[in-house]
Structure 1
Amino acid sequence: MTTLRVLSAGPLSTVQDLGRPGFASVGVSRSGALDRAALALANRLVGNEQGAAGIEITVGGFSAVFDADVWIAVTGAWGPVTSAGRPIDVNHPVRLAAGELLEIGMAEAGLRYYLAVGGGIEVPAVLGSRSTDVLSGTGPAVLTDGVVLPLGSPHPESMRPVDISPWGRPDLGVVTVPLYVGPRADWFTAASIEALFTETWTLSPASNRVGARLDGTPLERSAVTIARGELPSEGMVAGGIQVPPSGSPTVLLADHPTTGGYPVIAVVASASLDRFAQLRPGQEIRFRHGR
């Protein structure tokens, strides 16, 4: 069996596929790649099924070697990537010889790289997925220096030449995301609802795979709901924007808890959540009304 040996795992690297839907009723979130489109692209470039397991690399500082010749692709964030010291292109398939050192440097745009290898990462599946859920601990462990990962067998004749990949550098400026008000918007003042769409929010450094915390003017609850006390716990979904008593909103991401007692003022549609995977701490976000 072909293997990948991680020499440096960087700040946070995990195995991710497209997640394990259908288990929220037993307290297990979907998890999976935060930037699903980037993982799917990387897999297509190396001839895998779009949902094959790859490696999500946060910030960079990752290096690895393979014990056989392999096709790889790196997508998502934008930064220096080298093979045996030679620069290689992101968003393109690259053939690596056995023993060549792959190094993924610190991201210059975006935040999360995705590494796909022909055949996929073949760690054991848990509840039908190879994704690491950092909140619940479900799935494979967070990658560490020296860990060896088994690879699957590439599909015969699966590689196709690719001249152009229609992906570029992730945005570094203000990112605008559509937002849908509800289901607990009535817990907040009219001024807070307006502030959601007029405020320029900043991604907090405390953000992670569980949620994107936003800094800005605190959102205030209405006097009526303050008198009610706390909301009983209810089901949560990725994209829900919870507002704790501090008033600082958090966009729930892939490893979110499946229940929560903070009111959800609005929801980011699933199709827009990939944008949050590539936001950098301190980057600005604006919301517009969804249609």
Structure 2
Amino acid sequence: MSATGLRVHATGAQCLVEDLGRQGLTSIGVGRSGAADRGSLRRANRALANEEGDAALEVTLGGLVVEPVGGPVWLCVTGAPCPVTVDGRDVGADTVFSAPAGAVVRLGTPERGLRSYLAVRGGVAVEPVLGSRSHDVMAALGPDQVAEGDLLPVGRPGDSQPTVDSVLPLALPALDEPLVLRAVRGPRDGWLAEADRLVSTSWAASERSNRVGMRLQASSAEAGGGEAPVLRHADEAPPLPSEGAWRGAVQVPPDGEPVLLLADHPVTGGYPVVAVVVDIDVDLAAQARPGQLVRFRWTSPR
């Protein structure tokens, strides 16, 4: 019998292999990368009795179609809730389900959120690069972007067996409601003339956002038909040399429109960091669709 795998028939807007990323390599200029929504990846893997960092497929706005080959597989879809069918039969997101060889597994467009995760028992076993199976879009590092016609190998499952048939769905606001992100004050908020403007302004996720970072623009309601409010650099602030960058940092470039760094951020940056979003909320930020409203709320470090 041939080895078990997933044949890809369609990918949707973007489909990437992602795990929890490359750790401990920033000293040589290699970022961590990994799943944009780490919590959703972990939930799917735990449901399938995988290692929590096993690789899965990160699917943007649905559209993925795969077919098990070589034998049946157990699957689970988490993250942005989307319709999931096996040969046209609805199985739903956030559930553990089986698909026989030759079946057509299809992910539809999520009702809210941006990125869904299709995990398979045994993990997606493409060849790792520098210790990870994650695709880093900024560094063009890791396995290639998943393409139609690919046959993705599935790893050998461990001895543990799945003990649940569903997981808690990701709590996401409706698309017409703001996504609220908790943040602590950043180490360079003094480089901004009015750092508190970050939390007093309603922002909108820009269409230029990607896995590197979510770019934010003041919402049209904030602009009021005039000049949109921005975070202006303080006149007396000295030049800021490049320093280490990290996931969740909110940088403010000279145009005054903040950028929230996500999974594939650079390892260094020279723009002042006005805030740092708490780690669990960065997963939520990775689910913001272009145009969705985003609000920040100050919280205390723990």
Give the TM-score, by structure 1 length. Answer: 0.94
Mapped to 2, the partners of 1:50 and 1:21 lie a distance apart of 15
Q: What's the counterpart of residue 10 of structure 1?
A: 12
Aligned length: 285
Could you tell me whether the CA contact under 8 Å between 2:58 and 2:118 is conserved in 1? yes
Q: What's the counterpart of residue 236 of structure 2?
A: 224
Could you tell me whether the CA contact under 8 Å between 2:181 and 2:285 is conserved in 1? no
Matched, 1:281 2:290: yes
Q: How far did 1:134 drift?
A: 0.6
Could you tell me whether the CA contact under 8 Å between 2:40 and 2:79 is conserved in 1? yes
- 1:87-135 Cα offsets, whole Å, 9 max, x none, are 1111010010101001111121111000000100111112221111010
Q: What's the counterpart of residue 82 of structure 1?
A: 85
Q: What's the counterpart of residue 214 of structure 1?
A: 216
Could you tell me whether the CA contact under 8 Å between 1:19 and 1:129 is conserved in 2? yes
Could you tell me whether the CA contact under 8 Å between 2:39 and 2:280 is conserved in 1? no
Which runs of structure 1 show a deviation greater than 4 angstroms over 4 or more consecutive aligned residues?
none
Mapped to 1, the partners of 2:170 and 2:183 lie a distance apart of 25
Could you tell me whether the CA contact under 8 Å between 1:31 and 1:131 is conserved in 2? yes
Q: Which amino acid in structure 2 is aligned with residue 120 of structure 1?
A: G
Matched, 1:255 2:257: no
Partner of 2:35: helix, strand, or coil?
A: coil
Matched, 1:184 2:193: no
Q: What's the counterpart of residue 22 of structure 1?
A: 24
Q: What's the counterpart of residue 242 of structure 1?
A: 251
Mapped to 2, the partners of 1:266 and 1:277 lie a distance apart of 17
Could you tell me whether the CA contact under 8 Å between 1:58 and 1:111 is conserved in 2? yes
Specify every segment of 5 or more residues in structure 2 that has no aligned partner in the other structure, as ranges: 219-228
Matched, 1:159 2:155: no
Mapped to 2, the partners of 1:285 and 1:137 lie a distance apart of 29
Partner of 2:7: helix, strand, or coil?
A: strand
Could you tell me whether the CA contact under 8 Å between 1:78 and 1:170 is conserved in 2? no
What is the alpha-carbon root mean square deviation over aligned residues?
1.3
Between 77-86 and 149-158, report the one with greater CA deviation: 149-158
> Relative to structure 1, is the Cα distance of residues 31 and 168 closer, same or farther in structure 2, using a 3 angstrom cutoff?
closer
Report percent identity of matched pairs: 44
Mapped to 1, the partners of 2:236 and 2:143 lie a distance apart of 45
Mapped to 1, the partners of 2:118 and 2:68 lie a distance apart of 13
Mapped to 1, the partners of 2:25 and 2:100 lie a distance apart of 40
Mapped to 1, the partners of 2:206 and 2:170 lie a distance apart of 25
Mapped to 1, the partners of 2:64 and 2:36 lie a distance apart of 18
Partner of 1:275: helix, strand, or coil?
A: helix
Mapped to 1, the partners of 2:162 and 2:247 lie a distance apart of 34
Q: Which amino acid in structure 1 is aligned with residue 282 of structure 2?
A: L
Could you tell me whether the CA contact under 8 Å between 2:81 and 2:169 is conserved in 1? no
Partner of 1:78: helix, strand, or coil?
A: coil
Could you tell me whether the CA contact under 8 Å between 2:82 and 2:92 is conserved in 1? no
Mapped to 1, the partners of 2:186 and 2:170 lie a distance apart of 33
> Relative to structure 1, is the Cα distance of residues 139 and 168 closer, same or farther in structure 2, using a 3 angstrom cutoff?
closer
Specify every segment of 5 or more residues in structure 1 that has no aligned partner in the other structure, as ranges: none
Partner of 1:209: helix, strand, or coil?
A: coil
Could you tell me whether the CA contact under 8 Å between 2:242 and 2:269 is conserved in 1? yes
